[in-house]
Every structure is written in C-alpha cells, then in structure tokens.
Copies of this chain bind each other. A is one copy, B any other.
Amino acid sequence: MNIISTKSNEDKVNTITEMCKLFKVSARTLRFYESKELLFPIRRGQHRLFTKSDRGRMKLIMQGKRFGFSLEEIRQLLNLYNFGDHRTRQIKQTYQLGLKRLSSMEQQKKELGLAIKDLKTQLQLCKDLLLKRGADSRDL
C-alpha cells in the first residue's frame, strides 16, 4: 500500500492472456482490434499492457457486437468515453453520433419486443399442435 497507487484497480494493467480470459476472446482478436484503433494498449518493451481504458473499451465493443453493430460503427462511438482528450468540435460530432445510436437502439428494443411477442404466439400454436398430435406435455 504505497501512497501513489491507492487506486489499485484503476491503474491495473493486464497482459494479453489475462485480457483473453477476461473477455473470452483470442489474442489475435485483441491485436486485430488494436490495429483497427479500437484499443490502445501501452508497451513495456515489446509486450502490450492493457489499461483500465482498454478494459472499458472492450466492454463496449462486446456490447456493440452483441447488438449487431460493426467494428467501425463501434469505433466511432468509443470516443464518447474518452471525450476529455479531444477537441470540442470532435466531441460535438461524437455526441451527435451517440444520439443517433441511442435512437437506433431504442428502435431495436421496440422491434425486439414485437418479435418476442410474435415468437411467443407462434410457439403456442406449435405447442397446441404437438399436444393435439398426442405429445406428452411434460416433453414441452
């Protein structure tokens, strides 16, 4: 416990294999993301060290992918989480992009709700048929 590193998990850095386990991705993937400027690990000699910022970015990347966004779309939004570093003009742009992304995600959530409803209906029809055909209800 020294004076400088009270914020231990703030300053913590991870090797590439640690990151792999943390996010269940391959090392190739992490290097690929760096080459695409989605991550910016620092270097100790040859090796990469991933900082808290990289961990935050990775979380957002995985999230974005889950919702069907491309890496390029994700990259553009990542700046929203580092805006302190940038010029006002660029922050404005990122902010605008964020608003669009937000509305797109809200739209997607609506549609998802409808699709879920449809699917439920269809599953019920399917279940009815199976029961009428004499299926054991404990199987379903």
Residues of A within 8 A of B (CB): 63, 66-68, 80-81, 83-84, 88, 91-92, 94-95, 98-99, 101-102, 105-106, 108-109, 111-113, 115-116, 119-120, 122-123, 125-127, 129-130, 133, 135, 139-140
Contact = CB atoms under 8 A, between A and B. Distances in A.
A interface: dominant SS: helix
Contact of A126 (B80, B125, B140): B80
A94 B126 CA distance: 9
Contacts of A92: 130, 135, 139-140
Given A66-B68, A92-B130, A98-B126, A109 B119 contact: no
A119 B95 contact: no
